């Protein structure tokens, strides 16, 4: 069926799987054919999970999966299944957690798990070298030992598998009845974050350092002037240090996934869509608080990068950019000092050397420079650095680019739609709003079919059942988009998604939402995740978004489902709220309902009011601007058309009389800070 040295991955849509289509390993995708083969042949499964931008995934592929001798061992002993963790986060969640139970260590990618034919793992790890080093066994020898254990120690393995399945089931929360919610976990979480804050370099803990945008957003809601100065310091210090560090691409815009050091200086160079969307929100909100031009430039440069490099001609956003090019990590991004000096004028070079750390020792592998904001520029250096940046950008464009994972993921698109829409509102940038709307329209027309949402798209093919995150993140993004510019189709889509979420994902007995839909394939576990990871918790975002949509529309079904989710997770966040900032955001608005602000009137006058409102940090508000030209509004938004702007302000079910003065509106929404 396939040419020589081509396996079944050649017909997959995932760029990551296609990277392995010509391995001598007889890779299978995760499907019924591969699983049936393992059962019929009573053969163990070697499951390898990774993603396109993963550096160590590439290393293991080059060392082992491209080696015919290693492939012979794998093909003889196992049914080999390769999974893209971005297309199948359901499998990744289950087997990462199983890895933790089996090895007592955290996981990562590549994830290498050995399964019995029914899919239960009995041994695993992450990266394994081809020959023994780093204290790890050589991969071919490991394969032989693990396969032998499957045949000679089945009794022990079956006993372990029973215990593992019980352990996986034990972490799925069960309903505890109706809870008496209070603000205590909010204060506990705040203190835990402050205690873990690195006061010198920002961020939390030591190396490696991740941005933690959900935790920073939790603190930012408390950081208005005169409120929580400690939270404010954590957020602004962290955002400043990140923007000054090498994790931020100061030539092309956008953030890399994480820093290998505590100073944010040297990243793993992959750029992920899911990081940059929430960071756009954070930096835009920080600019509102502080007015720091550094934050504005980060937002502007990142938004331009997104539209230039991450948006498809059809409108959807691509998933990621690789860390490697020409087989070397970071080669596209780092510089030789002589190369830069040759590109710049003498004045530009002096400014760049001082401000970007080029007058220091090389900071990348002892011989190259990854640019950082080493010194603040003087007023006279600013135009020189602008010119230097343009020259370096043009020169870098002549290099071999890192690979683009050009599949379009619904959940990650939602995070970027929210980021672009939020930044567009704060900075009044129509082109950013247009970008977010194009992506939204692409998702609605391409990945929403017959009232079912799909998870991924590439090369004209949309497929895979969407997950909890796809639905929850997209509802949240649509609420953000509507606040920037109300479109009836966006509200209709949000309601359809909310109804699908309740119908297909809610645990109607215990509360909360499963990660997979009720009609999803049966796996060894069905997670109901509450903790934030690299992306926010689907349950936390679902509860938060359903509450907001419920208040906006006066729809009790959405409010009740959100409350059932909070009741379910309440014992956990009460006992230990760390890592639960998304659920805590929902808790905050359960304790103090969000303020809804509906503006109605002539379009020109509304434009001015919208612009003035965008300059106010209103984390606790949901703002909808409805020009008189809009007709057939839902009952909750069907305000009368007027010759002047009228504003309806409601907190929960309590609504004020219409307001016709912006000064009165400003005083009304500013008089009582709503921070728990």
What is the DSSP-derived secondary structure letter of residue 132? S
Residue 417 parent element (H or E)? helix 410-427
Does domain 184-323+405-591 fall under CATH 3.30.70.870? My reply is no
Cis before 110? omega within 30: yes
Residue-level pLDDT at 674: 52
Give the residue range(s) of CATH 1.50.10.10 domains in the chain. Answer: 184-323+405-591
pLDDT at 672 over 60: no
Residue-level pLDDT at 380: 97
Query: pLDDT-derived band of residue 614, with 50, 70 and 90 as boundaries?
Result: very high
Retrieve residue 617's tokens: 């940090």
Residue-level pLDDT at 3: 47
Chain-centroid distance of CA 139 in Å reads: 32
Percent with pLDDT over 70 in the chain: 98
What is the DSSP-derived secondary structure letter of residue 10? G
Residue-level pLDDT at 55: 87
pLDDT at 2 over 50: no
Instruction: Report, as an integer, the average pLDDT of 588-617.
Output: 94
Model confidence pTM above 0.75? yes
To 10 degrees, what angle do helices 581-591 and 213-220 make?
30
- Please write the tens of the pLDDT for every residue from 289-326: 999 999 999 999 999 999 999 999 999 999 999 999 99
Tokens 């992450």 identify what position?
Answer: 126
Mean model confidence pLDDT for the chain: 95
Reference 266, options 449, 72, 55, 469; nearest CA is: 55
Residue-level pLDDT at 633: 93
Architecture of domain 8-170: 3-Layer(aba) Sandwich (3.40)
Please tell me the class of the 595-670 domain: alpha beta
Instruction: Report, as an integer, the average pLDDT of 234-263.
Output: 98
Cis before 596? omega within 30: no
Query: pLDDT-derived band of residue 134, with 50, 70 and 90 as boundaries?
Result: confident
What is the DSSP-derived secondary structure letter of residue 117? T
- What are the percentages of helix, strand and coil residues in the chain, rounded to 5? 50, 15, 35
Rounded to whole angstroms, the Cα distance separating 583 from 545 reads 11
Judged on CB neighbours under 10 Å (0-12, 13-18, 19+), 218 is: buried
What is the DSSP-derived secondary structure letter of residue 403? P
Instruction: Report, as an integer, the average pLDDT of 598-613.
Output: 95
Cβ atoms of 624 and 596 within 8 Å: the answer is: yes
Residue-level pLDDT at 39: 97
Cβ atoms of 499 and 506 within 8 Å: the answer is: no
Judged on CB neighbours under 10 Å (0-12, 13-18, 19+), 574 is: middle
Give the residue range(s) of CATH 3.40.30.10 domains in the chain. Answer: 8-170
Chain-centroid distance of CA 397 in Å reads: 27
Query: pLDDT-derived band of residue 547, with 50, 70 and 90 as boundaries?
Result: very high
Tokens 């997670």 identify what position?
Answer: 527
What is the DSSP-derived secondary structure letter of residue 169? H
- Please write the tens of the pLDDT for every residue from 645-659: 999 999 888 889 999
Residue 98 parent element (H or E)? helix 89-103
- Please write the tens of the pLDDT for every residue from 161-214: 999 999 999 999 987 677 799 999 999 999 999 999 999 999 999 999 999 999
Structure-derived torsion over alpha carbons of residues 91, 96, 101, 103, reported in degrees to the nearest 10: 130
Residue-level pLDDT at 1: 42
- Please write the tens of the pLDDT for every residue from 359-389: 999 999 999 999 999 999 999 999 999 999 9
3-state SS class at 464 = strand
Query: pLDDT-derived band of residue 4, with 50, 70 and 90 as boundaries?
Result: low
Q: Residue 329's beta-bridge partner residues?
A: 324
pLDDT at 673 over 70: no
Phi-psi region of 459 (alpha: psi -120 to 50; beta: other; left: phi over 0): left
Residue-level pLDDT at 176: 66
Reference 248, options 220, 269, 217, 219; nearest CA is: 269
H/E/C letters for each residue in 552-605?
A: HHCCHHHHHHHHHHHHHHHHHHHHCCCCCHHHHHHHHHHHCCCEEEEEEECHHH
Retrieve residue 453's tokens: 């949402």
Give the list of residues 6+ apart from residue 160 with CB closer than 8 angstroms, or none: 122
pLDDT at 621 over 70: yes
Instruction: Report, as an integer, the average pLDDT of 430-440.
Output: 98
Cβ atoms of 121 and 102 within 8 Å: the answer is: yes
Cβ atoms of 435 and 310 within 8 Å: the answer is: no
Rounded to whole angstroms, the Cα distance separating 107 from 118 reads 22
- Please write the tens of the pLDDT for every residue from 488-503: 999 999 999 999 999 9
Residue 307 parent element (H or E)? none
């Amino acid at each position: 069926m396939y040419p020589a040295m081509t396996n079944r991955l050649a017909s997959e849509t995932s760029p990551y799987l296609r990277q392995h289509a010509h391995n001598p390993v007889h890779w299978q995708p995760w499907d019924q054919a591969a699983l049936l083969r393992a059962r019929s042949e009573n053969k163990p499964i070697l499951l390898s999970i990774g993603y396109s931008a993963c550096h160590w995934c590439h290393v293991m592929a080059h060392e082992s999966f491209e080696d015919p001798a290693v492939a012979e061992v794998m093909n003889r002993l196992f049914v080999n299944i390769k999974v893209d963790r971005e297309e199948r986060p359901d499998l990744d969640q289950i087997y990462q957690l199983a890895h933790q139970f089996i090895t007592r260590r955290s996981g990562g990618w590549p994830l290498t798990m050995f399964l019995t034919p029914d899919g239960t793992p009995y041994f695993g790890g992450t990266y394994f070298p081809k020959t023994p080093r780093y204290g790890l066994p050589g991969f071919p020898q490991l394969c032989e030992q693990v396969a032998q254990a499957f045949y000679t120690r089945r009794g022990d393995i079956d006993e372990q598998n029973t215990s593992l399945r019980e352990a996986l089931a034990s972490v799925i929360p069960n309903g505890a009845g109706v809870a008496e919610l209070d603000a205590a976990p909010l204060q506990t979480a705040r203190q835990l974050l402050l205690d873990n804050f690195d006061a010198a370099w920002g961020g939390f803990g030591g190396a490696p350092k991740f941005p933690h945008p959900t935790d920073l957003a939790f603190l930012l809601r408390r950081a208005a002037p005169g409120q929580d100065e400690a939270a404010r310091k954590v957020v602004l210090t962290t955002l400043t240090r990140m923007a000054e560090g090498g994790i931020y691409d100061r030539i092309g815009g956008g953030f890399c996934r994480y820093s290998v050091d505590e100073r944010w200086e040297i990243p793993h160079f992959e750029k992920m869509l899911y990081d940059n969307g929430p960071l756009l929100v954070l930096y835009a909100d920080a600019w509102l608080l502080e007015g720091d031009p550094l934050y504005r430039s980060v937002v502007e440069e990142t938004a331009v990068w997104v539209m230039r490099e991450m948006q498809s001609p059809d409108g959807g956003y691509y998933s990621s950019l690789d860390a490697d090019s020409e087989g070397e990590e970071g080669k596209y991004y780092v510089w030789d000092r002589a190369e830069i000096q040759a590109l710049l004028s003498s004045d530009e070079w002096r400014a760049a050397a001082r401000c970007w750390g080029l007058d220091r020792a090389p900071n990348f592998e002892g011989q190259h420079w990854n640019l950082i904001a080493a010194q603040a520029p003087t007023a006279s250096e600013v135009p020189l650095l602008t010119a230097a940046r343009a020259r370096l950008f043009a020169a870098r464009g002549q290099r071999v680019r890192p690979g683009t994972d050009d599949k379009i993921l619904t959940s990650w698109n939602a995070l970027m739609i929210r980021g672009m829409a939020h930044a567009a509102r704060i900075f009044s940038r129509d082109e950013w709003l247009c970008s977010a709307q194009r992506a939204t329209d692409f998702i609605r027309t391409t990945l929403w079919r017959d009232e079912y949402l799909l998870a991924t798209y590439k090369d004209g093919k949309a497929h895979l059942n969407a997950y909890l995150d796809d639905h929850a993140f997209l509802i949240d993004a649509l609420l953000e988009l509507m606040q920037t510019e109300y479109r009836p189709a966006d509200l209709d889509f949000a309601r359809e998604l909310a109804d699908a979420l309740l119908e297909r994902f809610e645990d109607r007995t215990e509360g909360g939402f499963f990660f997979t839909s009720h009609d999803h394939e049966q796996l060894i576990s069905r997670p109901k995740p509450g903790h934030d990871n690299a992306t926010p918790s689907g349950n936390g975002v679902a509860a938060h978004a359903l509450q907001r949509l419920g208040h906006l529309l006066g729809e009790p079904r959405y409010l009740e489902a959100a409350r059932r989710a909070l009741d379910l997770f309440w014992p956990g966040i009460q006992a230990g709220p760390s890592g639960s900032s998304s659920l805590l955001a929902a808790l905050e608005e359960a304790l103090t309902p969000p303020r809804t602000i509906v503006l109605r009137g002539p379009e020109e006058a509304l434009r001015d009011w919208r612009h003035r409102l965008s300059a106010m940090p209103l984390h606790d508000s949901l703002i909808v601007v409805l020009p008189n030209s809009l007709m057939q509004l839902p009952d909750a938004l069907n305000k009368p058309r007027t010759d002047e702007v009228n504003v309806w302000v409601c907190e929960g079910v309590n609504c004020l009389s219409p307001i016709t003065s912006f000064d009165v509106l400003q005083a009304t929404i500013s008089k009582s800070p709503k921070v728990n």
